[in-house]
Structure formats: structure tokens, C-alpha cells
Chain A
Amino acid sequence: SQKIEQNSEALNIQEGKTATLTCNYTNYSPAYLQWYRQDPGRGPVFLLLIRENEKEKRKERLKVTFDTTLKQSLFHITASQPADSATYLCALFVNTGKLIFGQGTTLQVKP
């Protein structure tokens, strides 16, 4: 069956450290993979898109990797800040033109 898995347990880290979130998928062949941030009671906000032929993408303190062999994407936030605390969703863009979302991982950055 097709699955997208993100760690359902909250990730707690200290301010200034690097946060690493994982997104694994099975039985999908996504053209793109996207990461979103979602704050409580709000809609998702687009962060980064990485294509199947790209290994790594960066944007300011954010870095995303995409390994189509492992069927895994890693999302890194360097020099994390309390304001980075939120739920982060990965989403696969499949060839039907749909975004398929993982359940998200909640990040808590402690000062």
C-alpha cells in the first residue's frame, strides 16, 4: 500500500541546534516533494520544493534532501529558534496533480 510516514513523536531540541525531520514514503513515484509549515489552527505555509532529479535544496536556514532510492527526504533547520516551533508537513506531488501529505512532525525549540 502507499504510505507517507513522518515521525509522529514531537521533536524537542535546544535553541541553536540543528533540527532534522524525516519523511519516508512507499509505493509512490513523486515528481516533486514539498515541505510545509503549519501552526496550530492555521493552514500550511509552503517552504521548499525539491524535484526528483535534485539531491539537495537550500533556503536560508533550511535544507532539504531527497533520496529517491531510499524513498526519503530529510528536512533540516540550522541554528533553530523558538519561533521555528511548529508542525512540519511533507507532501508528495504525484502524477495525478495531487499533493499527498504526511501527518506531520511537531518541532519544539526550547530557549
Chain B
Amino acid sequence: GAVVSQHPSRVICKSGTSVKIECRSLDFQATTMFWYRQFPKQSLMLMATSNEGSKATYEQGVEKDKFLINHASLTLSTLTVTSAHPEDSSFYICSASQTAAQETQYFGPGTRLLVL
């Protein structure tokens, strides 16, 4: 149980285009979903926290107009990287928590984004 999927697993896009990444909790309802970014050999950095039906809370330094998060249901959250640039190339990982305590987060397999 507690499986989280992400789609796509890899995406290559041209600079200036927008890319949408989906995060789904397959066998549980996620109270909260989190989006992280990880650069090579670096730690996971939390970008934003989202609860179903409400606006996402963004971490300091993360542009909310560039990284649009929609949490439309208890099993689906999407991250849209708008007007992507090469510096947005990274590994994007979502996680989902099934309790309000958020004690345990279940992570997706990640999405590798390459912006040319």
C-alpha cells in the first residue's frame, strides 16, 4: 500500500514552454501533498505544500507564478513549470501524506526535467 506515482518520469522541453507534472496517490487519500526539487548530489528542497481544495503554501524563494500547483482532489496534485528555462532543469519529486500529522510521507519516483 501507500504508492505514489508521478507522470511523466522524464520530460525534455524547449526553453519558454510550460511543463505539467502529475502526482497521484494510488491507494490512499492524501491529506497533504508536497513538491520537492533536487539538484545533482544535493538535498531535496521543499518547494511547496498543498492541501486539497486550497491554495498551495510556497517556500521562501520559490516563485508561485512560475511553479503553479493545483491540488484538485485527494489523490491528484499537479505542478506546472511555466515558461521553463534551462536553470529549471532538475529532478522534481512529490510526496503525499495520508494523515494530518504528516508523520510519514510517501514519495513518488520523481520526474527528470531537462529544459533545452
Q: Hey, what's the 0/1 contact readout for A16-34 against B, CB within 8 Å counting as 1? A: 0000000000000000101
The B-contacting residues of A in range 10-51, CB under 8 angstroms, are 32, 34, 36, 41-46, 49
Cβ A43 vs Cβ B93 within 8 A: yes
Cβ A97 vs Cβ B43 within 8 A: no
In the complex, chain B residues whose CB is within 8 Å of the CB of A102: 43
> Chain B contact residues: over half helix, strand or loop, or mixed?
strand
Size of B's binding interface in residues, CB under 8 A: 25
Complex Cα gap A101–B45 (Å): 7
How many contacts between A and B, using CB within 8 angstroms?
Answer: 49
Which residue among A43, A46, A98 has the maximum number of chain B CB atoms within 10 Å of its CB? A43
> Chain A contact residues: over half helix, strand or loop, or mixed?
strand
The A-contacting residues of B in range 80-116, CB under 8 angstroms, are 91, 93, 95, 101-110, 112
Q: Hey, what's the 0/1 contact readout for B23-66 against A, CB within 8 Å counting as 1? A: 00000000010100000011111100100000000000000000
Cβ A43 vs Cβ B103 within 8 A: no
What band does the interface of chain A fall in when counting residues whose beta carbon is under 8 Å from B?
A: 20 to 34
Q: Tell me the minimal C-beta distance from A3 to chain B in angstroms.
A: 11
Cβ A44 vs Cβ B93 within 8 A: yes
Interchain CB contact (< 8 A) of A89 among B4, B44, B95: B44
In the complex, chain A residues whose CB is within 8 Å of the CB of B104: 34, 46, 49
Q: Which residues of B contact A (CB under 8 A)?
A: 4, 6, 32, 34, 41-46, 49, 91, 93, 95, 101-110, 112
Q: Which residues of A contact B (CB under 8 A)?
A: 4, 32, 34, 36, 41-46, 49, 89, 93, 97-104
